Structures are given as structure tokens and as C-alpha cells.
Amino acid sequence: MQNEKIIFITGGTSGIGKETLKSLALTGATVVFTARSNEKGEEVKREILRETGNEHSAYLVCDLASLASVRACAEEFKNRYPRLDVLINNAGVMPQERQESKDGIELNLAINFLAPFLLTTLLLPLLRQSAPSRIVNVSSSMHKEGEINFNDLESKKGFDMYKAYAQSKLAIVLFTKKLAKDLKGSGVTVNALHPGVVGTEMTMRNVRAMNPILALLFKRMLITPAQGAETSVYLATSPEVAGISGEYFDKKKIVPASPRVYDMDVAEKLENIAKTKVLL
């Protein structure tokens, strides 16, 4: 049975994103996801129909490493759908070497922070109009290791994969806190989460780069993508979190975030830099 909700998720073709998509499809909502190609989008759409029976799934082709593609995706969504009840910024990367996006921006910063920052900003009018509505930002516990290095935000002076990733995941929690403050009273909530240490292809690539003993220990900590999707689904659908905003969740519970996420001066400075980079 279809419900009236329209849910949009980035990175819905693999890993945590695909499992989140499947769980949300089971609620009967219209689920829209981003895909890198029509071929992949059609493949996942067929899989969703086969496994959930939901005939109301759709995809938008979007390359999150391209700001122009993110803009086009947001525009297409607004043209096709009259409302947006839940936006889930799920997609993420953790490259082992320094790479740049189509716009020449370091890839962690581009995909893990600037893409969701731009997409959310462009869809905010629709989210406000659809209130009560929700924004869910997938971060990581590694944000606690992160620090916003304004002197070298794009790791041009030296690249450390963990530092660059942690910085980008701290940035998305800072954005969450700042946005929650700006949206107070609007009926739009925004929360961030740690999905757990999930055995996705991205994680396994990094495990393969470890020494064998460390890799073995790390593998024992891993949870499945379906388990990793549980908190995203909870934040997207549960009546228990209606009205809760600006929090950081792990295992469906509010947990302490890094003390750095409460520094609104840093959040504001980061927001201004982000606006400049995405040309807002």
C-alpha cells in the first residue's frame, strides 16, 4: 500500500544506500535515488520492485563529483515532484590517494560535504513547503578525529586519507548543527548519524590495504550494509524523532558528537567557504 511520502536519497545504488532504499520502499513511500548512469538506475529500480513490490521507485542520474550535475539533479527533482518529505544525504567516498572532482576540488570535500551542502540548499524551499519534513546526513564516528584545516582545506600541502575523510565528515556534522539552528521553527528537522563500521566495497578497499593482522581484527568489527542502514531509516521514518533537530545519532540513539561541532564561528566560516565554492 502506497503512502504519500516522497523520499530522496543520494548513493542509493550500492552499500548502505541501497539497503536504506529497500527498507524505505517497504513503507510504500515514493523513493527516489541518485544513480551514476541510466543502466545502474534501471538495474536497482528492477531490484527494488522485485524485492519490495514497490512500484513507486525512481532514479535521477547524478554525478556528485560535479556541481553542475548536482544542480541539474535538484532542478529535475523539483520539476518532477510536488513535495519532499525526507532528504537523505547518504553518498560518500574515501579515496586512498588525493583525487579531484570535475570542478577541481579535493574529492572528500567535494562529495562528502559540498555536494550534500549544495543539494540540500537547492531543495530547502521544497522541504520548507513540505513541512514537517526531515533531512538526514550520513556522517561517521571518524568526524571526532577531524579538524577543519582552513589553511589547507583541500589537502594540497600533503594528503592523508584518514585526515581528509575525517575533516569532510566533521564538516557535514557542523553543517547539520548550523542548519538546525537556521531552520528552528520551520518544521524542517536535520540530524546526522554514524552508520557503524560497515562492510561496504569502500571499506573493504581500505581493509585490503592494511597489514594482514590488522585487517583480520578490523573485519571482525564490521556490520552488514543492512545493519548500517538502520539508523538512517529510523531518522527518516520514526515518529520518535519528530521535532528532534541538530543531533548526532548512533544505533538509533542520540550520542555525543565531537566538541568541535558546537563552534558556530567555525560552522559559519565553513558555510561561507562552501557557498563560494559551489557559487551560491
Per-residue model confidence as pLDDT tens digits over 21-75: 999 999 999 999 999 999 999 999 999 999 999 999 999 999 999 999 999 999 9
Task: Identify the band that residue 225 occupies on the pLDDT scale cut at 50, 70 and 90.
Answer: confident
pLDDT at position 280 is: 81
How many CA atoms does the CB half-sphere of 92 hold within 13 Å? 28
How many CA atoms does the CB half-sphere of 270 hold within 13 Å? 30
Per-residue model confidence as pLDDT tens digits over 185-196: 999 999 999 997
Section 159-172 average pLDDT: 96
pLDDT at position 240 is: 98
Residues 17, 125: Cα–Cα separation, whole Å: 24
Q: Pick from 23, 110, 263, 130: which is nearest to 33 by CA?
A: 23
Section 140-145 average pLDDT: 95
Whole-angstrom CA distances from 193 to 147, 170, 205, 252 are 18, 11, 22, 9
Section 88-116 average pLDDT: 97
Q: Above 80 in pLDDT, residue 201?
A: no
Residues 138, 116: Cα–Cα separation, whole Å: 10
Catalytic positions: 165
Percent of the chain with pLDDT over 70: 90
pLDDT at position 216 is: 54
pLDDT at position 199 is: 47
CB count in 10 Å sphere of residue 127: 25
CB count in 10 Å sphere of residue 61: 16
Average pLDDT, the chain: 92
Q: Which amino acid is at 270?
A: L
Residues 181, 148: Cα–Cα separation, whole Å: 20
For the chain, domains (ranges, CATH) are 6-196+228-277 (3.40.50.720)
Cα 274 from chain centroid? 16
Task: Identify the band that residue 224 occupies on the pLDDT scale cut at 50, 70 and 90.
Answer: confident
